[in-house]
């Protein structure tokens, strides 16, 4: 987006289809409930499986924070990274895995399956996702120049409308 | 690094409120949370200590609605101001699209403002971002207090590039929306 060196990234329906296929397979094979992809800046990219009934924007931002905080912890104890994290609850658990340092795969599961199975299946999924995203991130920034000029004008009007006393 | 998702037709932009501890960043977000239409915003998430100081960040998503077919959303974050929380601060800056610097106008906080501004430059530089190239506005907050520096003096120390700046009283909302509108529009322009 800016010459400041902070490129936006984008992906289209074809990418999305590929990614959802990987996640569908993961859910099917692992018997987990739901999989979410979150980017490292805290934005939700995609959700597959049972639609979660929590606030997914908050969930995504906390996931990214969780992972980042753990990266820092890893480096403090001399590890390069913790490539995955596991949070165990009484009935619901979640497993988080790094995808190419840009995304985090979160899988929610319960007693219908086991940590061992989920972990193995996630490993496969991560490698497939890495392949899929290599393409997305390898793309020239210029190719994704999508927004019509009117977008800016309309967004500005909307900003004025929304942010007023 | 705003993410444009053509599959779900969504655009998310990240705006970070930065500045010295107790300058009023969290208060800005609380005001926004209370004043925008409830159906346009999500929960205000605060990772705070028991004494309500921001520990990791505050987070508030605000929906601009669907514009030209794209569901457009701002993610507002604050960082903890205390010097020793730099690791958290840096993490929050990852992928930032726009920055608001909330300065504490009180005379005795001038050094803290300057230090925080340097820290902002440094942390951005570590990600390869240059503040001069990023949508950036400044809010001179706490203008209601008696012991504040004149804006000219604050500009001199904190705003050499003369980016847009606003006087604020975040507790009553003065300048809060002006600040947000300004940075939001700069961010949107940078997408176009
Ligand atoms: N007088 C006055 N107090 C303010 C103003 N803005 C914030 N405060 C107070 O300053 C303190 C710190 O604010 P907070 O938003 O937590 O600061 P943060 O550390 O930057 O998040 C709180 O007690 C606020 O009520 C202001 O404009 N004027
Ligand atoms: Mg705070």
Place of tokens 């009117």: A150
Residues of B whose CB is below 8 A from A61 = 45, 59, 61, 75, 77
State the angle between helix axes of B176-191 and B25-35 in degrees (0 to 180), rounded to the nearest 10: 90
What whole-number percentage of chain B has pLDDT above 90?
A: 73
- Residue B63 and residue B106: Cα distance in Å, rounded? 34
Q: What is the pLDDT of residues B95-107, one digit of tens each?
A: 899 999 999 999 9
pLDDT at A6: 37
We find that the CATH architecture of domain A2-164 is 2-Layer Sandwich (3.30)
Q: Long-range contacts made by residues A47-51, C-beta under 8 angstroms, separation at least 24?
A: A48/A20, A48/A23, A48/A24, A49/A23, A49/A24
Contact A118, A39 (CB under 8 A): no
Separation in Å, CA of A115 to nearest CA in chain B: 29
pLDDT tier, A134 (very low <50, low <70, confident <90, very high otherwise)? confident
pLDDT at A73: 84
pLDDT at B2: 62
Residue B175 reports pLDDT greater than 90: yes
Residue B1 reports pLDDT greater than 60: no
Q: Are strands B3-5 and A9-11 parallel, antiparallel or unpaired?
A: parallel
- Residue B94 and residue B75: Cα distance in Å, rounded? 13
pLDDT at A34: 96
- Residue B159 and residue B163: Cα distance in Å, rounded? 7
Among the residue ranges A5-9, A67-71, B135-139, the one predicted with the least confidence is A5-9
Query: Using the 8-state DSSP alphabet, how is residue A163 labeled?
Result: S
Q: Shortest CB distance from B185 goes to which of A5, A6, A156?
A: A156
Q: How many domains are there within chain B? A: 1
What whole-number percentage of chain A has pLDDT above 90?
A: 48
Across residues B93-118, what is the average pLDDT?
96
Among the residue ranges A1-15, A61-75, A130-144, the one predicted with the least confidence is A1-15
pLDDT at A66: 86
Best residue of A3, A6, A56, A160 to probe chain B, by most B CBs closer than 10 Å: A6
Q: Where are the beta strands (DSSP E) in A6-88?
A: 9-11, 34-39, 44-49, 84-88
pLDDT tier, A146 (very low <50, low <70, confident <90, very high otherwise)? low
- Residue B115 and residue B80: Cα distance in Å, rounded? 14
- CA A36 to chain CA centroid, Å, is 6
Residue B79 reports pLDDT greater than 70: yes
A73 inside 8 A of chain B by CB: no
β-bridge partners, A99: A103
Residue A138 reports pLDDT greater than 80: no
CB contact under 8 A, B134 and A55: no
List the one residue out of B107, B174, B99 whose CA is nearest residue B144.
B174
Q: Where are the beta strands (DSSP E) in A56-134?
A: 84-88, 93-99, 103-109
pLDDT at A9: 66
- Say how many Å lie between the CA of residue B59 and the centre of ligand 2: 11
Place of tokens 């959802």: A20
Average pLDDT of every residue of chain B: 92
| Ranges A17-26, A73-82, B55-64, most confident | A17-26
- CA A103 to chain CA centroid, Å, is 5
Largest separation between any pair of C-alpha atoms in chain B? 53
Residue B136 reports pLDDT greater than 70: yes
Q: What is the pLDDT of residues A147-165, one digit of tens each?
A: 777 899 999 999 999 998 7
Q: Shortest CB distance from A1 goes to which of B12, B87, B191?
A: B191
Among the residue ranges A58-72, B24-38, B123-137, the one predicted with the least confidence is A58-72
pLDDT at A57: 86
Contact B15, B191 (CB under 8 A): no
The domain spanning residue B29 has which CATH number?
3.40.50.300
CB contact under 8 A, A62 and B7: no
pLDDT at B97: 94
pLDDT at B151: 97
- pTM for the full model? 0.86
pLDDT tier, B33 (very low <50, low <70, confident <90, very high otherwise)? very high
pLDDT tier, A3 (very low <50, low <70, confident <90, very high otherwise)? very low
pLDDT tier, A145 (very low <50, low <70, confident <90, very high otherwise)? low
- Residue B39 and residue A111: Cα distance in Å, rounded? 35
């Amino acid at each position: 987006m800016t010459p400041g060196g902070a490129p936006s990234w984008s992906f289209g329906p074809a990418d999305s289809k590929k990614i959802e296929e990987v996640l569908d397979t993961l859910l099917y094979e692992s018997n987990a409930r739901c999989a979410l992809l979150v980017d490292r800046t805290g934005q939700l990219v995609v959700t597959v499986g049972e639609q979660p009934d929590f606030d997914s924007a908050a969930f995504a931002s906390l996931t990214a924070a969780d992972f980042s905080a753990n990266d820092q912890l890893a480096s403090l104890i001399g590890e390069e990274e913790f490539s995955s994290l596991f949070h165990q609850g009484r009935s619901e658990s979640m497993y988080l895995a790094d995808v190419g340092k840009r995304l985090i795969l979160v899988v929610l599961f319960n007693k219908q399956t086991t940590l061992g199975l989920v972990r193995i299946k996630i490993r496969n999924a991560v490698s497939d996702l890495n392949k899929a995203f290599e393409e997305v991130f390898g793309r020239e920034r210029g190719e994704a120049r999508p927004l019509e000029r009117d977008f800016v004008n309309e967004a500005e009007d909307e900003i004025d409308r929304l942010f007023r006393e | 690094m705003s993410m444009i998702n053509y599959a779900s037709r969504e655009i998310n932009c990240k705006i970070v409120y930065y500045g010295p501890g107790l300058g009023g960043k969290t208060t800005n977000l609380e005001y926004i949370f209370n004043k925008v239409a409830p159906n346009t915003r999500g929960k205000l998430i605060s990772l705070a200590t028991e004494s309500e100081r921001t520990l990791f960040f505050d987070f508030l998503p605000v929906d601009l609605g669907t514009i030209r077919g794209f569901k457009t959303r701002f993610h507002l974050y604050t960082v903890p101001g205390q010097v020793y929380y730099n690791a958290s601060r840096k993490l929050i800056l990852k992928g930032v699209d726009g920055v608001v610097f909330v300065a504490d106008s009180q005379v005795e906080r001038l050094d803290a403002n300057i230090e925080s501004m340097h820290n902002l430059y440094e942390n951005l530089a570590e990600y390869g971002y240059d503040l001069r190239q990023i949508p950036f506005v400044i809010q001179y907050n706490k203008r209601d207090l008696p012991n504040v520096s004149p804006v000219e003096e604050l500009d001199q120390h904190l705003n050499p590039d003369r980016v847009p700046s606003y006087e604020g009283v975040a507790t009553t909302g003065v300048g809060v929306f002006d600040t947000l509108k300004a940075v939001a529009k700069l961010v949107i322009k940078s997408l176009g």
